[in-house]
A and B are shown apart, each in its own frame.
Chain A
Amino acid sequence: EPEVTQTPSHQVTQMGQEVILRCVPISNHLYFYWYRQILGQKVEFLVSFYNNEISEKSEIFDDQFSVERPDGSNFTLKIRSTKLEDSAMYFCASNRQGIGQGANVLTFGAGSRLTVL
């Protein structure tokens, strides 16, 4: 069964450093998403991306965050200058037809755990 693949599975970084989290969505999916889950808390929407543009972003997704699809397969989340409170699991998700088109089931990756020291 097709999977969403995320790397790294775990990254430890120093506060203020830049981090790039990578995702390979399912190959025929066109819509991509990042979510965040701070330990023990709810899964929070960060951003959605389609056709090389951000479709929607939450209040959490401020100027220190950016997303990119640098090639035909990867979808990345960059955090420019990490803070302690960025420590969380980051989940990538994708679907073929997009959230608002009645087919809003998402396929999630296993997540990247980010620890900021």
Chain B
Amino acid sequence: SQQGEEDPQALSIQEGENATMNCSYKTSINNLQWYRQNSGRGLVHLILIRSNEREKHSGRLRVTLDTSKKSSSLLITASRAADTASYFCALLNQAGTALIFGKGTTLSVSS
């Protein structure tokens, strides 16, 4: 079934460093989304990138999409302790009727 797989599973960095996490998928897509989940909380939508887009920015977030490699990356620049969270990519299922989440990357940013 269509599901993104994030890599790495866990990432630990210092404040001020950049964090990059990746999402790979198997079938063609219309768009791909990234969500953040703070510990014990719900998911918050960060950014959506369409299949005809290669790069998108939102504040300190930069998302790229390579449909030929079936992969996307999320870059958080100049990370802060408040960026500590799990990050998920999300794709439509094959039928286009449900949004399916990957297992996520757990980011820890230490000050």
Contact = CB atoms under 8 A, between A and B. Distances in A.
Interface in A90-111: 91, 93, 99-100, 102, 104-111
Contact of B42 (A58, A99, A108): A108
A67 to B, nearest CB: 14
A44 B100 CA distance: 7
Contact of A45 (B31, B48, B99): B99
Nearest to A45: B98
A99 B99 contact: yes
A61 B98 CA distance: 13
Contact-residue bracket for chain B? 20 to 34
Interface residues of A, number: 27
Nearest to B44: A108
Contact of A58 (B43, B44, B98, B101): B98
22 contacts: A35-B101, A42-B101, A42-B103, A43-B88, A43-B104, A45-B93, A45-B101, A48-B97, A56-B97, A93-B42, A93-B43, A99-B92, A99-B97, A99-B99, A102-B30, A104-B33, A105-B33, A106-B43, A106-B99, A108-B42, A109-B42, A111-B42
